[in-house]
Structure formats: structure tokens, C-alpha cells
Structure 1
Amino acid sequence: MSKPITEFIEKYYLHFNSAALVDASKGYVAHLKDGGKMMITLAGAMSTAEIGKILAEMIRQDKVHIISCTGANLEEDLMNLVAHSHYKRVPNYRDLTPQEEWDLMEKGLNRVTDTCIPEEEAFRRLQEHIVKIWKDAEAAGERFFPHEYMYKMILSGVLEQYYEIPRENSWMIAAAEKNLPIVVPGWEDSTMGNIFSSYCIKGELQPSTVKSGIEYMMYLADWYPKNSGGKGVGFFQVGGGIAGDFPICVVPMLYQDLELTDTPFWSYFCQISDSTTSYGSYSGAVPNEKITWGKLDITTPKFIVESDATICAPLMFSYILENS
């Protein structure tokens, strides 16, 4: 079997962050080969960066067993799926004047660095379908998590008429077809969360129709012990923020607050981050700090790649797919 990415990075990535990338990738592969499971957390705008092109294959090949992500990453994969041709790249984004930024806003283009998301165009295709699913659930007295509503929309087939990228490049389609467990802390901080809030304010929906972040933690607290036997569950954090901070806390919560003293620590840890440790940010904390919080053990394999996740994650996922 040809392993072009493996051969490339093992030849040239020998020191500093590049060596950490290789070591962490090998650790991920070893964790899977020993029977371990893995959580991947997605912060930032990784879906807009089209991480789905490779994350979908990681999901299909069972290289990831649960995902924690922001509400933005959840919906932005679908926005790219149904409105890709309306995205606009702005390579000279550093030179834009306030007036040029305003002009983009008036065109319905929300800029993320060099990429403008056509939010109006995307939600014109998504909103009526997701609102119907919310209202149908409420009428039936049912409640679901945010990602479960999106799974229902994907699996119903109503979006297929709008697909503008190959379906195999959407990690949300791959996740829906696997019914992959997902936790979405802070879902309210997303366009879809804002839309749901607006319907609640208008009295057309009840907030309880969408399950809460507390219920996501309860869900994770049930999932983790059931899947932490043997080699245990690893933690692969892409970026920082709530997508990583929220789920990693399930371990100390289980054994400190629920007094389940046999709860195992996370059994592998890697973070790709450009956050700086000296500023006191949790996102930039070195892995050893997590020992003091009861999240990682002394013996947990720990890696940190201080670099750009949009560069590193695809390389690491490619290495993992080639070797496991």
C-alpha cells in the first residue's frame, strides 16, 4: 500500500512542531491499534476550512468514535454542502477597508479570514427544513439534541436537491449515516441557535424542544464509562475553546462530583493549538497542567503541536488513515 503522506512527513518532519506532529500521529495510531477509542474536538472554523474532505473518511473508517464541536462547525459543514458555489474567497482580506467589509455584509457574505460564508444563501436552503423538524418534534412532545435534529434533516433527503459538493466530502453526512455521538456545547452561539432563539422569543417554539448543554454533559457522562474499558478513550483537540474545555471535564466530574472513583483518565491527549501558554489561556495550557485538574494521568501519552490546525490536522488525519 502506498503511503505518500507517511513517507513525506517521516522524511522531512524531524524537529520541533513538525516532529511533535509525527509523534502525536504515531500515538493516535498506536492508541487505535491497542483497541482504544478517540474523541475529536473541533473549534474555530474548521468546517469552513473544509476539514470534512478528510474528517468524513476518518468517520467512515471508524478512526473517531465521538466528536465535540461548536454549533458553528456543526452547521457550517452543511452550509458548505448546500451553498459552496456562493462562497467567496478574499485573498487580500488584510487590506479591506471598513467600507469594503460593510459591502460584503450587505451582500450577505460573512467573512472568516479569507473566506466569506454566504449565510443568507445557505440558510435559505436550510431554515425551512430545520424549522419544520423542530415544530414537528414539539407537536409530538419530543425533544432532541441539536445534532440529532440535523441528522434527521440529513437522513430525510430534503437537502439532496441542493448538494453542491460531493456528499463524501461532508463530515456531517458521514456522521449522520454512522449515527456518530456528538456533543455540541454552547450551541446557542451559532446561527442556527440564534434562529431557534428567535422562534422561542416569538412564541412559536419552546426552549425545551432542543435539549440543553447540561443534558449534553449528562449524555457524555453516560457515554464515557461505557466506552472507556480496555485502552480507554483518547482526546484529540483541534484548536481550543469550549469544544475542548467542555468534554474534557467529564472525567473529573465523574470521579470528583459523582464519586465514581474507578473512572479512568483520558488515555491519550493531543492538541493542535496556536494559543500562547504565558497568557493564562486554558487553550494554550501545556498538557501537564491537566494532570492537576484530574483530567490526565501521569502516564497518559501527551502531545501538543503549536501550529495552525488547518495545516496540521489534514496531514495527521492522512497519516492515521494510511497506518491504521
Structure 2
Amino acid sequence: MSKGPISQFIEKYYLHFNSATVVDAAKAYEQQLQNGAKMMVTLAGAMSTAEIGKIFAEMIRQDKVQIISCTGANLEEDIMNLVAHSHYERVPNYRDLTPQQEWDLLERGLNRVTDTCIPEHEAFRRLQKHIYKIWKDADDKGERFLPHEFMYKMLLSGVLEEYYEIDLKDSWMYAAAEKNLPIIVPGWEDSTMGNIFASYVIKGELKASTMKSGIEYMTFLADWYSKNSSNGVGFFQIGGGIAGDFPICVVPMLYQDMEMHDVPFWSYFCQISDSTTSYGSYSGAVPNEKITWGKLDINTPKFVIESDATIVAPLIFAYLLDL
């Protein structure tokens, strides 16, 4: 299939500096897939609230991504957008808000993420009653699942259908659920649903063990990587933080701690981030530093795009989708 106008535009005009890296990274990503490699995409920041699902869902449907690592916030906020989109409020002048105006938003039940306010009642609470029933059912049966598996159960059960407020094809979580795509959610407890689950544990209504742990996510990933890395696995990182730091460590863990010396390094690495390297900024660690940690090989294609992921990621995905 020939490339569409968006792809042709960036190839023609994105020729130097960060823009050139956008094109190089997109072409190298495409080459990875053509070589039979699989690709992990990691989502940090507020990408779900930025509605990355409008294009990322199609990436999933077209098998351009085989595994995802994301924060607990990104896991849940795509579903929140699915069921409460009309109640969201955009605040374009968010940089000018006073503390009193921020407090007024809180009192209206609006939790702000940069320029977008998530409605607590329509988003958090609408999901809470349904996910609690699924948690409780597993708890009563003595069953245990990973956080994303519970979310998949909720989406595929159909209990949310009456609330849908966007086109279902724009939900990346629904696309992932349909494919039962593996998702890694390190630090899930640091999310609204994680906090809600903890509250039920404190109240004695659920057992903490009903939710599988981060260690079990690492063992899940170790098994997946071992079975899927024969032709390589690429690493496409949006933002920094735990969504990227946690899964990239599976390679040195298998090689050094499990002593599996035939485990291949990540076969591709790209990070979109505006975090600059400093003494206190590990998230800004450059790819070459990862060589010293046994994560990337000397010859691994490496790209750093120092820009806003809400601008850059859709362009790269558009290139991969021939748009």
C-alpha cells in the first residue's frame, strides 16, 4: 500500500533535528515489523486523556503493536473517556488558573489533567460499581487476576454499553480487549481504580491477594518475552517513568539473574520525551546509558525525539498506518 498524505508530508518536510528523527524512527519501526519482530509500546503521561485511542486503537487492530506497558491511569482513563466523554471539560486557559479556581473545579467534581477535566462522578464512580462486582466475584471464588484482566472482563461483559459516549473504535482498551493483547501495568496501585481497590481492602470487603502483583507482572512479561523474542522485540516508549522503566528491565533480569544467556536484547528503541538528562532525572536517561545496564545492544537502532508526545506519536502511528 502506498503512503498517504500525512506520511508523504513528513517525508518531504521533516528533514532535520527532531523532525528528521520522527521519520527515521517511524521507518525503523516499520522495518522491525517487516523483519518479523514484535513491538512493545509504553504509555506514560496522560495519553489516554489526550485521546490517543483515536489512532492507537487502529494500530492495535492492524497488529502494529503486540504488547503494551502503561500506567494505571492510562489503563483506566481510556475507559473513562469511553463512558463519560460528554461530561469532560476543556480548560484552554489552564496556565492562568488561580488556586481558588482550581478549588472550584474540585468542588464541581472535576479533576484537571492539564487542559482537560475528568468528571469524577460520571467517570470514576460510573466504573466503580461495575468493576467492584467483578473484583468481588473473583474474590468470593478465590480467583486472582492481573489489573488489566479485570478491565478486559468489564469491557467484554457489555455492562458499560449503555454509557458509551464515543465511537467504540476510538477506544484503544476495547481494541486491546478484543485481541486479548498482553498489557503490563507496573505500579497499578498508583491509579484511581488502584486507590478504590485499596479502600475495599481496608474496609475488609476484598482481599489484597485477589489482585495479582507487580512481581507477577514481571514474571508474566518474562514468560512472554522468552516466547516472542526470536525475531526481536522493539521498544517504543512514550514519555518516561515506570511504564518504560519497568518492562525494559526484563532483558537484564533474564540474562543476569536467570542466567539465560541466549536472551536477545531489545531490537529497537525509541523514546518520545521532553525530559532532559540531569542528575535527578533518570527518566531522561539516553539510550546509550541503557547499554551499560544490559538492556540495549551496541547495534540496536536507537532514537530519542525530544518533543511533545501528543504531537509526535500520532504522526509516527499515521506513518505506520499509511495515512
TM-score by length of structure 2 reads 0.98
Task: Give 3-state SS (helix, strand or coil) of 2:272's partner.
Answer: strand
Structure 2 match to 1:104: 105
Structure 2 match to 1:212: 213
Task: Give 3-state SS (helix, strand or coil) of 2:103's partner.
Answer: helix
Measured in 1, the distance between the counterparts of 2:317 and 2:188 equals 26
Task: Give 3-state SS (helix, strand or coil) of 2:282's partner.
Answer: coil
Measured in 1, the distance between the counterparts of 2:53 and 2:154 equals 18
Residues 100-156 of structure 1 show CA distances to partners (whole Å, capped at 9, x for unaligned) of 000000111011111111122112321111000000001111100000000000000
Structure 2 match to 1:221: 222
* Runs of 4+ in structure 1 over 3 Å off: none
Residues 23-70 of structure 1 show CA distances to partners (whole Å, capped at 9, x for unaligned) of 000000000001110000000000000000000000000000000000
Query: Mind listing any 5+ residue stretches in structure 2 that lack a counterpart?
Result: none
Give the letter for the 1:70 counterpart.
Answer: T
Give the letter for the 1:200 counterpart.
Answer: V
Question: Are the aligned partners of 2:272 and 2:304 in contact in 1 as well (CA < 8 Å)?
Answer: yes
Question: Are the aligned partners of 1:79 and 1:119 in contact in 2 as well (CA < 8 Å)?
Answer: no
Structure 2 match to 1:273: 273
Structure 1 match to 2:147: 146
Matched, 1:162 2:188: no
Give the letter for the 2:65 counterpart.
Answer: V
Query: Mind listing any 5+ residue stretches in structure 1 that lack a counterpart?
Result: none
Question: Are the aligned partners of 1:110 and 1:117 in contact in 2 as well (CA < 8 Å)?
Answer: yes
Structure 2 match to 1:263: 263
Measured in 2, the distance between the counterparts of 1:293 and 1:280 equals 18
Residues 191-221 of structure 1 show CA distances to partners (whole Å, capped at 9, x for unaligned) of 0000000000000000000000000001001
Measured in 2, the distance between the counterparts of 1:2 and 1:241 equals 33
Measured in 2, the distance between the counterparts of 1:134 and 1:199 equals 10
Structure 2 match to 1:251: 251
Structure 2 match to 1:137: 138
C-alpha root-mean-square deviation of aligned residues, in Å? 0.9
Task: Give 3-state SS (helix, strand or coil) of 1:270's partner.
Answer: strand
Structure 2 match to 1:316: 316
What is the deviation of 1:281?
A: 1.8
Question: Are the aligned partners of 2:60 and 2:175 in contact in 1 as well (CA < 8 Å)?
Answer: yes
Structure 2 match to 1:181: 182
Question: Are the aligned partners of 2:22 and 2:316 in contact in 1 as well (CA < 8 Å)?
Answer: yes
Pair 5,132 (structure 1): closer, same or farther in 2 beyond 3 Å: same
Give the letter for the 1:36 counterpart.
Answer: A
% of aligned pairs identical? 80
Structure 1 match to 2:118: 117
Measured in 1, the distance between the counterparts of 2:228 and 2:111 equals 39
Structure 2 match to 1:59: 60
Structure 2 match to 1:290: 290
What is the deviation of 1:285?
A: 1.4
Question: Are the aligned partners of 1:42 and 1:73 in contact in 2 as well (CA < 8 Å)?
Answer: yes
Moved more, 121-130 or 74-83: 121-130
What is the deviation of 1:321?
A: 1.1
Structure 1 match to 2:5: 4
Task: Give 3-state SS (helix, strand or coil) of 1:46's partner.
Answer: coil
Q: How does 1:225-240 map to 2 (within 5 A)?
A: 225-230=226-231, 232-240=232-240
Give the letter for the 1:17 counterpart.
Answer: N
Measured in 1, the distance between the counterparts of 2:219 and 2:82 equals 31
- How many residue pairs end up in the alignment? 322
Measured in 1, the distance between the counterparts of 2:31 and 2:124 equals 41
